[in-house]
Structure 1
Amino acid sequence: MTFVLAFCMIFSLFSIQAPAQAAGFTDVPSRALNEVNYLVQGGVVQGSSPTVFNPDQTITRAEAAAFVGRAIQLNGTKRQTRFNDVDPGSFASGYIESIAAKGIMSGASNGKFSPGKLVTRGEMAVIIAKAFGHTGNAETALMNLGIASGMGNGSFGSAQTITRADFAVFLARAINPAFRLKQNITFSSNMKSTTNGLNIRTGPSTSYPSVGKIAAGTSVTGAFLVGGWMFVKAGNTTGFISMYYLTGSSGSGTVTQPTTPPSTGTDSRLQSQTIIIDPGHGGTDPGAVNGSLREKDVVLNVGLKVNKLLEQTPFKVKMTRSTDTFIKLTDRSTFAKNNKGNVFVSIHVNSVNSSSTSGTETFYYAAGNPHVSDSKLLSSKIQARMLEAWNLKDRGIKKGNFSVLRENNMPAALAELGFISNSSDAAKMTNEAALSKMSIAIYNGILDYYKAKGYDINKLYK
Structure 2
Amino acid sequence: MKIYLDPGHGGTDPGAQGNGLNEKDVTLDISLRLRNILINQYENVEVKMSRESDISKSLSARTNEANAWGADYYLSIHINAASSAAQGYEDYIYNGLSDSSQTAKYREIIHGEVVKMNQLIDRGMKKANFHVLRESTMPAMLSENGFITNAHDAGLMKQAAWRQDVAQGHANGLAKAFNLQRKPAPSPPPSTGTLYKVIAGSFQSKENADKQVALLKSKGFEAFVDTVVISGTTWYRAQAGAFSSRENAEERMNTIRNAGFPNVFISVE
Q: TM-score, normalised by structure 1?
A: 0.38
Question: Displacement, 1:458?
Answer: 5.9
Superposed, which structure 2 residues align to 1:306-385 within 5 Å?
306-312=34-40, 313=42, 314-352=44-82, 354-367=83-96, 373-385=101-113
Superposed, which structure 2 residues align to 1:83-162 within 5 Å?
none
Provide, for residues 103-135 of structure 1, a one-character-per-residue CA deviation record: whole Å limited to 9, x for no partner.
Answer: xxxxxxxxxxxxxxxxxxxxxxxxxxxxxxxxx
In our comparison, the structure showing a higher alpha carbon Rg is 1
1:288 aligns with 2:22: no
1:426 aligns with 2:143: no
Task: Give the SS at the match of 2:10.
Answer: coil
Provide, for residues 83-107 of structure 1, a one-character-per-residue CA deviation record: whole Å limited to 9, x for no partner.
Answer: xxxxxxxxxxxxxxxxxxxxxxxxx
Question: 1:422/1:291 Cα in 2 relative to 1: closer, same or farther (>3 Å)?
Answer: closer
1:305 aligns with 2:29: no
8 A contact 2:80–2:148 mirrored in 1: yes
How many residues align? The count is: 183
| Structure number with higher strand proportion | 2
Distance 1:318 1:370 in 2: 28
Task: Give the SS at the match of 1:383.
Answer: helix
AA aligned opposite 2:91: T
AA aligned opposite 1:457: Q
Q: TM-score, normalised by structure 2?
A: 0.64
Provide, for residues 275-330 of structure 1, a one-character-per-residue CA deviation record: whole Å limited to 9, x for no partner.
Answer: 00000000000000014200000000000001111112220110010110111011
Question: 1:449/1:385 Cα in 2 relative to 1: closer, same or farther (>3 Å)?
Answer: same
AA aligned opposite 1:334: N
Distance 1:407 1:458 in 2: 31
Distance 1:371 1:335 in 2: 27
Distance 2:12 2:99 in 1: 32
Runs of 4+ in 1 over 3 A off after TM superposition: 369-372
Task: Give the SS at the match of 1:442.
Answer: helix
Distance 2:4 2:98 in 1: 18
Question: 1:310/1:371 Cα in 2 relative to 1: closer, same or farther (>3 Å)?
Answer: farther
Provide, for residues 345-389 of structure 1, a one-character-per-residue CA deviation record: whole Å limited to 9, x for no partner.
Answer: 00001000x21111100100141x599722212222222122111
Runs of 5+ unmatched residues, structure 1: 1-272
AA aligned opposite 1:289: Q
Tell me how large the CA RMSD over aligned residues is. 2.0
Partner of 1:457: 181
Task: Give the SS at the match of 1:358.
Answer: coil
Question: 1:286/1:336 Cα in 2 relative to 1: closer, same or farther (>3 Å)?
Answer: same
Partner of 2:237: none
Superposed, which structure 2 residues align to 1:25-424 within 5 Å?
273-312=1-40, 313=42, 314-352=44-82, 354-367=83-96, 373-424=101-152
